[in-house]
Amino acid sequence: MKSRRIGPLTVSALGLGCMNLSHAYGTPPSPEQAERVLRRAVELGVTLFDTAVLYGFGANEELVGRVLAPHRSRIALASKCGLHGVDGKRVIDGRPATLKANCEDTLRRLRTDVIDLYYLHRWDKTVPIEESVGALADLVREGKVRALGLSEVSAATLRRAHAVHPVSALQNEYSLWTRNPEIAALDACRELGVSLVAFSPLARAYLTGTLRDVSALEPKDLRRAMPRFQPETYARNLRLIDTVQQIARDAGCTAAQLALAWLLAQDERIVPIPGTTRVEHLEENVAAADLALDADILRRVDAAVNRHTVVGARYADATLAEIDTEEFRS
């Protein structure tokens, strides 16, 4: 596996987003299946594993900690604080005391004495970003965290946070169908020496070409609340996938591999973290790290799926109000 840098860390060019092993897309896989995915990722050379206190309200951190403990010296563990469960409901809380309590819980669940990369999962807009980042900086000084990150924030907020303590990673959604980081975040990352960790790089399965019928999604699948996955809207977006799959065939790869290779080609500071519940999809994704796409293939897929061709907002209005990322004007 090729490697990339995130602050002081050297990690695999593709990480593994662990969320859907416990959370978000309906019924999670069995513990045995989740363990197989995690162990196979280690075998394939993946060294960045991304979780959060929110995922399964702690269950995902416990899973990752238990399965990966024997491999701790070979991997980088990333987790997130400031968005957690209280009485079964998700709560955004960026107060310093809460973030430090989240960290203690995460250290215990991950079975480690230090978190390699620790993110503020959401900026609590009732708390100045400087205060939240100041608390995370304390954790670095105490030796409980190696590097700091932010998730779903704008370039302006990133700069404010970076002035308090160096930020190593910005984790925002970035893929062919979500180009928001191209507004300002990518430029800010280059300016400040921050890596962009791209979550949902396969557009929550859209870019794999395998999700054809959104009406079959489980009732608790979070995509059911997303505008782009509403049946009429998704049907319009689905028309683009045939083109993507043809370009992938021309490139000698799958649609998922094409989407990941496109993302890796955008900048050396980008580290995608696709998630999956299946070993065969994991193996398919990891192989994308070795793809070298020619300029014509990159141009064609970029032209096929972009902010002008994709229909619908990525989040519902209530969720958009919670985050701080730049949005394209309609």
Catalytic residue numbers read 55
As to burial, measured by CB atoms within 10 angstroms (0-12 exposed, 13-18 middle, 19+ buried), residue 218 is exposed
Q: Which DSSP category does 44 fall into? A: T
Distance in angstroms (rounded) separating the CA atoms of residues 282 and 286: 6
As to burial, measured by CB atoms within 10 angstroms (0-12 exposed, 13-18 middle, 19+ buried), residue 212 is exposed
Beta strands in 98-253 (DSSP E): 115-120, 145-151, 169-173, 195-199
Largest interatomic CA distance in the chain: 53
Distances in Å between the alpha carbon of 273 and those of 12, 129, 216?
Answer: 10, 25, 25
Beta strands in the chain (DSSP E): 3-6, 9-12, 16-17, 48-50, 76-81, 83-86, 89-92, 115-120, 145-151, 169-173, 195-199, 270-272
List phi, psi (to 5°) of 236. -70, -40
| C-alpha dihedral sign at 19, 21, 26, 31 | negative
Q: Is 4 helix (H, G, I), strand (E, B) or coil?
A: strand
Q: Is 121 helix (H, G, I), strand (E, B) or coil?
A: coil
